[in-house]
Amino acid sequence: MHLGIIANPHKNGSAATVLSLIDTLEKKGISTSLEDDTAKLIDGVTGIPAPELAQQCDVVAVLGGDGTMLDAAHRIGPTDTPVAGINIGNLGFLTSCTDDELDIFADALLDLSYKVVPRILLKTTITHQDGSIEEDFAVNEITLSRGQTGRLISIDAFIDGALLNHYHADGLIVATPTGSTAYSLAAGGPLISPIASAFVVTPICPHSLSNRSLVLDDSSVVELTTAEESECPALYSIDGREVRELPRTSRIKVEKAGHKLHLIRLRDRSYFATLRQKLRWG
């Protein structure tokens, strides 16, 4: 087996965890390669770009937290290669284990005592007035928001071509089941099983209290535009990454992506146990 490693270079303990993981894996006969920025943490090591890493390796391990996992997914791009998150610190929603469980992780790779869980992603297509198109994908969500201004924005939302609502709010989130535990949850959205064939539309601080989250079948197509009466331009971001202004004449289409994120979960670990821990239930 050959394992690729991507680490958050800005997180304390990354270099030590990378070295520890390499040593643990080598002792068990598992070879490794490092992604470009990760290789800079280790003297004398040459890395390879993230998309090539995913192509050349059987599994990609991402060291950091859920934010690092989101960033790595975008850098890797579409791939069927399973991704395992190793959290430097507490266990996250997207990670398989923590950095003090490297032996357990290595053994799981050797005896295949893990499960690969496909997570649906969202494809985003922004069409501008001049006909130009921007495409991307989201692991957690795409968000339209009012930005720094104190004014609300007005958003027209359509489902499969039919008007859903004229939202007057701080913003609107379209989230995957994976993203249902992130910004959507903070905005009052529902928890959704990570393997559900669905996604959710959640308004952020809507002007009308009757505006609630809506769970949609994953075959649905959502289209969003800034309404003419909006008091200010909308800003949009994908997975909390770069924030950009959406021109009033542009239109965002959100639908299920053609590829999935294949996450590794150790067989003795439960998503719902992580949910209880992170949300402090019981």
Report residue 255 CA to chain centroid gap: 15
Identify whether residues 81 and 134 lie together within a single domain: no
Identify whether residues 137 and 252 lie together within a single domain: yes
Identify whether residues 131 and 247 lie together within a single domain: yes
Q: Which residues lie below 8 Å from residue 226, measured CB to CB, with a gap of 6+?
A: 144, 153, 154, 155, 156, 233, 234, 246, 248, 250
Burial 29-41 (b: 16+ CB within 10 A, else e): ebebbbbebbbeb
Identify whether residues 153 and 216 lie together within a single domain: yes
Q: Which two tokens stand for residue 59?
A: 């599994």
Give residue 218's pLDDT band: very low, low, confident or very high (50, 70, 90).
Answer: very high
Identify whether residues 220 and 165 lie together within a single domain: yes
* Domains held by the chain: number: 2
Give residue 174's pLDDT band: very low, low, confident or very high (50, 70, 90).
Answer: very high
Identify whether residues 188 and 249 lie together within a single domain: yes
Identify whether residues 171 and 80 lie together within a single domain: no
Identify whether residues 205 and 248 lie together within a single domain: yes
Does residue 175 surpass a pLDDT of 80?
A: yes
Does residue 89 surpass a pLDDT of 80?
A: no
pLDDT of amino acid 263: 97
Bind-site residues for NAD(+): 66-67, 140-141, 151, 168, 170
Bind-site residues: 66-67, 140-141, 151, 168, 170
Identify whether residues 101 and 137 lie together within a single domain: no
141-145/234-238 β-pairing: antiparallel
Q: Which residues lie below 8 Å from residue 209, measured CB to CB, with a gap of 6+?
A: none
**What is the C-alpha to C-alpha distance for residues 191 and 260, in angstroms, rounded to an integer?**
20
pLDDT of amino acid 268: 85
Report residue 180 CA to chain centroid gap: 11
Q: What CATH number is given to the structural domain containing 192?
A: 2.60.200.30
Q: What CATH number is given to the structural domain containing 36?
A: 3.40.50.10330
Identify whether residues 245 and 139 lie together within a single domain: yes
pLDDT of amino acid 150: 76
Q: What pLDDT, in 10s, does the model give residues 95-139?
A: 999 999 999 999 999 999 999 999 999 999 999 989 999 999 999
Identify whether residues 60 and 180 lie together within a single domain: no
Q: What's the domain range around 214? A: 121-258
Q: Which two tokens stand for residue 241?
A: 């990454």
Q: So which residues are the catalytic ones?
A: 66
pLDDT of amino acid 247: 87
Mean pLDDT across the chain, nearest whole number? 94
Q: Structure pTM?
A: 0.94
Does residue 147 surpass a pLDDT of 80?
A: no
Does residue 13 surpass a pLDDT of 80?
A: yes
Identify whether residues 17 and 135 lie together within a single domain: no
Does residue 282 surpass a pLDDT of 90?
A: no
* Residue 68 vs residue 229, higher pLDDT: 68
